[in-house]
Amino acid sequence: MIVGLSAAVDAIDANAGVRAAILTGEGKGFCAGGDIAAWGKLSPLEMGQHWVRNGHRVFDRLTRLRVPLVAALNGHTLGGGLELAATADIRIAEEQAKFGLPETGIGMVPGWSGTQRLVTRFGAAAVRRLALTGEIVTAERALQLGLIDEIAPKGEGLREARALCEKIAARGPVANIVAKQMINAAEGEDAAAAMEILAGSLVSYTSDLKEGVASFVEKRPPVFKGF
């Protein structure tokens, strides 16, 4: 799944025609978290340097996706699944979905930014309760805790996510991209890169840049005008 998500980010970022994206599950649920049978066999080094590191790398890329990302949570969203849902800009949950961070119940801690990004996006009180008690909450309770933005009837999450994406896509695409970058920066998501992206974009509109490039190609001193 991690490999597939990374490939999807590559495809979306390479396609300038994409204005919004949807993240959803293929089965009965959205994502029930990491495969315990798989990571339970890992050595401490493999757990830290591969399992946790790779999850962070891909989830960071999803969070910083160029276009707005809407999550259609069509069922259980637990552990790593809740951490995955947190990468989206907006979360729509179907009424039967359940949410939680059950890791401490088997002696593990949330590992894919469950104690970091989730706190930034949902607040420390909600995350503390879920992580320390292992409580599994309903969609209604998740809405109260701020884990999701709205609830859809069973089977309607994807349809509502598509309708929301159509609304997003009808707006100025560049404005949406920049607004997302600024909001991410305010949350501490790659603020340094966001600042340089915006600065580079601004300078690229100037006649001074065009003159600088032309003078380099023509091997002459540039004549800058300051605009």
Q: What is the pLDDT, as a whole number, of residue 107?
A: 83
Q: What is the pLDDT of residues 29-77, one digit of tens each?
A: 899 877 766 766 767 776 666 677 788 889 999 999 999 999 999 999 9
- Considering 26, 46, 103, 187, which one is annotated as catalytic? 103
Q: CB under 8 Å to 206, separation ≥6 — which residues?
A: 227
Q: How many helices (H) and strands (E) does the chain have?
A: 12, 7
Residues comprising the chain, all counted:
227
Comparing CA positions, the residue from 63, 79, 185, 122 lying closest to residue 71 is: 63
Residue 48 is predicted with a pLDDT of 64
Q: Is 103 a catalytic residue?
A: yes
How many CB atoms lie under 10 A from the CB of residue 57? 12
Residue 47, pLDDT score: 62
**Token reading at 46:** 């493999």
Predicted local confidence at residue 196, as pLDDT: 82
Q: Give the per-residue pLDDT at 181.
A: 92
Buried b / exposed e over 1-11, threshold 16 CB at 10 Å, is ebeebeebbee
Show me where the domains of the chain are located: 2-169, 173-218
Joined tokens for residue 99: 């949410």
Give pLDDT, residue 17.
94
Confidence at residue 33, expressed as pLDDT on a 0 to 100 scale: 79
Which pTM does this prediction carry?
0.87
Spans of the chain below 70 pLDDT = 36-37, 39-40, 42, 46-50
- Amino acid 54: pLDDT: 82
95 tagged catalytic: no
Q: Which among 83, 94, 187, 189 is annotated as catalytic? A: 83
pLDDT of residue 146: 96
Domain 2-169 listed as CATH 3.30.420.10: no
Residue with tokens 């089977």: 155
Residue 100 CA to residue 126 CA, distance in Å, equals 10
Using a 10 angstrom Cβ sphere, with 0-12 exposed, 13-18 middle and 19 or more buried, the burial of residue 125 is exposed
pLDDT of residue 190: 78
pLDDT of residue 39: 63
